[in-house]
Amino acid sequence: MSALASLKLSATKKPINQPAIVQQRTKLAKRIWEQVELCKAQSTGNTFAPTRLKSYRDLDGVRKTISAPKRVKPWWFVANDGKLCLNIRYGSKVIELSKGKTAIELASQDDLLKTLDIIKNAVLSGELDNKIEQASGQLRAAFKR
């Protein structure tokens, strides 16, 4: 019993549902992780193809689930002036990081991993919550049409 006496016990219950913003942060952090893995794979000359579960009906009408590769598009691009730029996306929407500015300019491919790590930490700490809410609202509004 002395082992339990050394622990700090609490009557706190686990929440059933997470708040929407926490789910949105997690979604964006997962997409940033995919971008990091895609960047690492491209820098070593490999391919990155995560899998997702896909359901379909066979000829008999039986529903089956298979593991299919998921397409991951890079968020970085080379601008007209030759600089490497990075957009942060929530779904299909580009997040506006500052007033009228959606891209992050990078000096080289090496800075891409560092920048993605900084962005991921900012997302998880809640610095981009307002921007995520705006992008999420735009996506939801498109489905209501």
pLDDT digits (tens, 9 = 90+) for 77-113: 998 888 899 999 998 889 988 898 999 999 888 889 9
Query: Could you tell me if residue 6 is inside a domain?
Result: no
Look at residue 119 and tell me if it is in a domain. Answer: yes
10-residue stretch averages of pLDDT, the chain, 145 residues long: 79 84 92 93 89 91 92 91 90 89 88 92 90 88 80
Nearest-10 crossing angle of helices 20-44, 129-143: 100
Asked whether residue 3 is domain-assigned, the answer is no
Residue 48 in contact with residue 37, Cβ under 8 Å? Answer: yes
Rounded to two decimals, what is the model's pTM? 0.79
Residue 35's pLDDT is 93
Does residue 4 sit within a domain?
no
Domain presence at residue 93:
yes
Residue 9 lies in a domain: no
The total domain count for the chain is 1
In a domain, 7, yes or no: no
